[in-house]
């Protein structure tokens, strides 16, 4: 069973009389627990594809299945519910609430689901796993960029999503912080079997993923997996 299935997924934008084919007929399966880097030049459709996967955008055509649910068949409420339950989104600007401390920020998504009973414990545990226990009562303004990013990652995981999406998470941090981020993501990916889809133009970061999807003009140019034996990329 595919965790996520894209079938001829398409998103067009209209700008005046011009039609921009941001994502143009993408078909692929993502299995549970995969760690995927989406790469490609600026304007190739990476963000649009991620926003489609995160149910932030509705496709112009084609289908998107998440855990075998056809997302096109969901009404607005169910769609929002599915997004809250199944998808963790790490935005480039982190989108932390400045009036809340680290724990409160990480607990925020629990508001949108029932059975959030063990939520606080889960939040505390995640904060420990991202190495911020000593900052748990601090506000975002008292944190470094890398620390805020780790809060955003902990928050994205609090509802035990089946999918975590990150759009250029290393764009605004230094090399060492970026390397730590990759190690953290690898660990979460293995320990929690959570599927990770990460948009990046950093080749080091992309190299850490086990599958690389390269977009060009809204289409899949290459789709390669890291070979088990020699670490070489082979067609997926
Ligand atoms: P990337 O993330 O790879 O840089 P995007 O998905 O942001 O690519 O953009 C893909 C194409 O869609 C680009 O040509 C971009 O200008 C266009 N585009 C993105 N968002 C919009 C929008 N809201 N309205 C019109 N065009 C858009
Ligand atoms: Mg982008």
92 in contact with ligand 1, CB cutoff 6 A = no
Round the CA-based radius of gyration of the chain to a whole number and report it: 18
Q: Return the domain boundaries, the chain.
A: 2-235
What is the pTM (predicted TM-score) of this model? 0.92
- What distance in angstroms lies between residue 226's CA and the mean position of ligand 2's atoms? 24
- Tens-digit pLDDT profile for residues 172-182: 778 888 888 88
CA 27 and chain centroid, separation: 18
- What distance in angstroms lies between residue 84's CA and the mean position of ligand 1's atoms? 24
The topology (CATH level 3) of 2-235 is Rossmann fold (3.40.50)
105 in contact with ligand 1, CB cutoff 6 A = no
Helix (H, G, I), strand (E, B) or coil at 46: helix
Q: Tokens 């935005």 correspond to what residue?
A: 91
57 in contact with ligand 1, CB cutoff 6 A = no
Q: What is the pLDDT along the chain (236 residues), one digit of tens a residue?
A: 689 999 999 999 999 999 999 999 999 999 999 999 999 999 999 999 999 999 999 999 999 999 999 999 999 999 999 999 999 999 888 899 999 999 999 999 998 877 667 899 999 999 999 999 999 999 999 999 899 999 999 999 999 999 999 999 877 778 888 888 889 899 999 999 999 999 998 888 888 899 999 999 999 999 999 866 556 777 77
- What distance in angstroms lies between residue 48's CA and the mean position of ligand 2's atoms? 7
50 Cα nearest atom in ligand 1: 6
Cβ atoms of 224 and 235 closer than 8 Å: yes
- DSSP tag of 134: G
- Tens-digit pLDDT profile for residues 111-149: 887 766 789 999 999 999 999 999 999 999 999 989 999
- Tens-digit pLDDT profile for residues 200-218: 988 888 888 999 999 999 9
List CB contacts of 77: < 8 A, sequence separation 6 or more: none
Please state, in angstroms and rounded to a whole number, the distance separating the CA atoms of residues 65 and 60: 15
200 in contact with ligand 1, CB cutoff 6 A = no
Please state, in angstroms and rounded to a whole number, the distance separating the CA atoms of residues 178 and 196: 16
What confidence score (pLDDT) does residue 130 get?
94
């Amino acid at each position: 069973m595919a965790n996520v299935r894209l079938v001829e997924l398409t998103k067009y934008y209209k700008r005046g009389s011009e039609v921009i084919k941001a994502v143009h007929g993408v078909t692929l399966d993502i299995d549970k627990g995969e760690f995927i880097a989406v790469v490609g030049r600026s304007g190739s459709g990476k963000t649009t594809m991620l926003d489609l996967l995160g149910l932030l955008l509705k496709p112009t055509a084609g289908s998107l299945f998440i855990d075998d649910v056809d997302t096109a068949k969901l009404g607005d409420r169910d769609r929002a519910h599915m997004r809250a339950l199944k998808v963790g989104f790490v935005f480039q600007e982190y989108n932390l609430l400045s009036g809340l401390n680290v724990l409160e920020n990480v607990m925020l998504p629990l508001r949108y689901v029932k059975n959030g009973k063990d939520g606080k414990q889960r939040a505390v545990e995640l904060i420990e796993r991202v190495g911020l226990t000593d900052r748990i009562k601090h506000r975002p303004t008292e944190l470094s960029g890398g620390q805020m990013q780790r809060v955003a990652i902990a928050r994205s995981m609090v509802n035990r999503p089946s999918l975590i999406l990150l759009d250029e998470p290393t764009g605004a941090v230094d090399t060492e912080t970026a390397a730590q981020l990759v190690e953290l993501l690898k660990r979460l990916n293995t320990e929690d079997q959570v599927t990770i889809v990460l948009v990046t133009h950093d080749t080091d970061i992309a190299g850490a993923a086990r599958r690389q999807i390269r977009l060009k003009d809204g289409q899949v140019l290459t789709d390669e997996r890291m070979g088990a034996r020699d670490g070489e990329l082979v067609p997926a």
